[in-house]
Amino acid sequence: MSVSSEIPYYHSSVDWPELMRKHPPPPAYERTVGRISDEELRTHQDRLFLSCVETAWSTPFFSRRWREVGLELGDVRSLDDLHKLPVYDSDDLREAIAERPPFGSHQPVTREELGRLPFKLQTSGGTTGLPRVALFDPIAWEVQAIQGARGMWMQGARPGDIAQIPLTCSLADAPWLAYKMCHDWLGIVPVTTGSGVVTPTERQLELALAFGTNIWVTTVEYAGRLIDVAHDMDFDLAQLGTKLIHGYLGNDPSGARRAHVQDAFGAPIYDAYGSHEIGEIACECVHQNGLHVYEDTVFLEVLDVDDRRPLGFGEKGTLVATSLHRHYAPIIRYDMQDLLELYPREECGCGLVTQKLSHFMGRADEMVKLRAQNVFPRAVEAVVLDDARCNGEYLCVVTAQGEGAIQTTEMTVRVEARGGGVDRKALRDDLLVALKRVLGVRVEVEVVEPGELAPLTGLGGEGKVKRLLDLR
């Protein structure tokens, strides 16, 4: 392996004025890309897209797949040709990594070439085997931070605010980006306490009061944990003077989880959507009426889960993303396997003119077939949140019953009761009825103690909260 004697200094590896022109940070975003015409936007998107396509042709993963469907260099001239390119998903990336470990045949860089740019290595949240590796060059790293900064700015965050980040900087990139968007692109003081595993929740609250935290960057689940612990400590959350919570609501169709957090903190919690691969690509503004898509960083499609046909605006399907800034590795028609709806560009009350995304509606790859019925485990959430006897925590456990031709798939929903005074039998009976109505098929229900599911869901720990445990 050759080693370069020249150091690729980070500060000189980015043309900063050019970066800020292509992907403006706040507040310039609201005056430029965030409100340009459809024609101006498409011209800008096409220019960015074709640069990514050029890089993709140099990678074995994309060039092979594209040639297999009859494409050659020059056949893709704009986003109008995007439909000609095949869709891929995380299973395809695992195969690419197995083909050329550890980075994969989809990365246009080898182990020997790492010294020519400052790279950051992050991974997916895989819990078994090796997680999916993603390399971030400086542009990808900075654009993700700019994406998040745009959201916080439109929600009211300003220089001098103090943002507490109960997420631990690890192989997951969300905590790193939360720090960068505050510190590098907003002039906000980041308080990097880490998750509840690193800094216990009781201590999180004590530090927030001592340091003057007025913004939280966290998940709605952990915000709920803060509320529960504050109650147990007799800690008045109002004394924090919280300005806003930059959060991730997940699947909250009734709005119960949002309302619970907002009532407790006396401040709004804003939803955002993103992933390890594409960053935080959409976020709510103060009007909380859909998530603004950062269209200079990503081009979105919604496809039918079963046959991959394109769906129209307002139709729920699996989200397919094409990054307009990622070169290490290119992301072109990547099936996120998240269920969402996309809405057309129009002017919002905040002044932005963008497409909008719905809130997250579940995972296409978490679908479970129960007695010929397609069941999405996160549909359970609405039922659990609507019942005041539950504390909102649940886990769907899927098992195989019987053997051979008579084997069946069964699902048990484990639900945490809010406290010791709850009639467990009555709660179980009511949930059985409500879940059958929502899911269209009978599932079993098990009511458990508060906090009992945390070791399985990961609440308060690192990474995303898990709602499905497949034991088949």
**54-85 residue pLDDT tens:** 999 999 999 999 999 999 999 999 999 999 99
Q: What is the pLDDT of residues 404-414, one digit of tens each?
A: 555 678 999 99
Q: What is the mean pLDDT of residues 95-116?
A: 89
Question: Quick one: pLDDT at residue 404?
Answer: 57
Contact between residue 75 and residue 84 where contact means Cβ atoms under 8 Å apart: yes
How far apart are alpha carbons 251 and 273 in whole angstroms?
Answer: 11
Question: Quick one: pLDDT at residue 154?
Answer: 97
Long-range own/partner contacts, residues 452-461 (CB < 8 A, 24 or more apart): 452/414, 452/416, 453/393, 453/394, 453/395, 453/414, 453/416, 454/393, 456/395, 457/393, 457/395, 459/221, 459/222, 459/225, 459/393, 460/195, 460/196, 460/197, 460/201, 460/222, 460/225, 461/195, 461/196, 461/197
Question: Quick one: pLDDT at residue 127?
Answer: 44
Question: Quick one: pLDDT at residue 435?
Answer: 94
CB atoms within 10 A of CB 398: 19
3-state helix, strand, coil in the chain (%, to 5): 35, 25, 40
Tokens in use for 416?
């945490």
More confident residue, 367 or 306: 306
Tokens in use for 96?
């690419």
What mean pLDDT is reported for the chain? 92
- DSSP codes joined into one string, 346-377: EE-TTS-EEEEE-----BGGG-EEETTEEE-G
Tokens in use for 9?
């200094």
Q: What is the mean pLDDT of residues 319-338?
A: 96
**φ/ψ of residue 346, rounded to 5:** -160, 160
Question: Quick one: pLDDT at residue 4?
Answer: 58
C-alpha pair distances (Å), 93 with each of 61, 99, 136, 464: 9, 10, 16, 20
Q: DSSP class of residue 171?
A: S
Token pair 């950051």 in the structure block, residue: 120
Is the predicted pLDDT of residue 419 greater than 60, yes or no? yes
Is the predicted pLDDT of residue 257 greater than 60, yes or no? yes
> Which residues make beta-bridge pairs with 409?
400
Is the predicted pLDDT of residue 367 greater than 80, yes or no? no
Q: Is 471 left (phi over 0), alpha (psi -120 to 50) or beta?
A: alpha
Q: What is the mean pLDDT of residues 291-319?
A: 96
How far apart are alpha carbons 183 and 53 in whole angstroms?
Answer: 32
Contact between residue 226 and residue 260 where contact means Cβ atoms under 8 Å apart: no
Q: What is the mean pLDDT of residues 116-120?
A: 94
Assign domain 367-470 to a CATH class.
alpha beta
In the sheet with 269-270, reading across from the earlier edge strand, the strands are: 189-191, 162-164, 215-219, 244-248, 269-270
How far apart are alpha carbons 314 and 340 in whole angstroms?
Answer: 9
Q: What is the pLDDT of residues 158-215, one digit of tens each?
A: 999 999 999 999 888 899 999 999 999 999 999 999 998 899 999 999 999 999 999 9
How far apart are alpha carbons 440 and 374 in whole angstroms?
Answer: 9
> pLDDT tier at 252 (50, 70, 90 boundaries)?
confident
**Cα–Cα nearest to 393, from 271, 240, 219, 267:** 219
How far apart are alpha carbons 292 and 270 in whole angstroms?
Answer: 12
- H or E stretch including 438? helix 424-439
Contact between residue 345 and residue 313 where contact means Cβ atoms under 8 Å apart: no
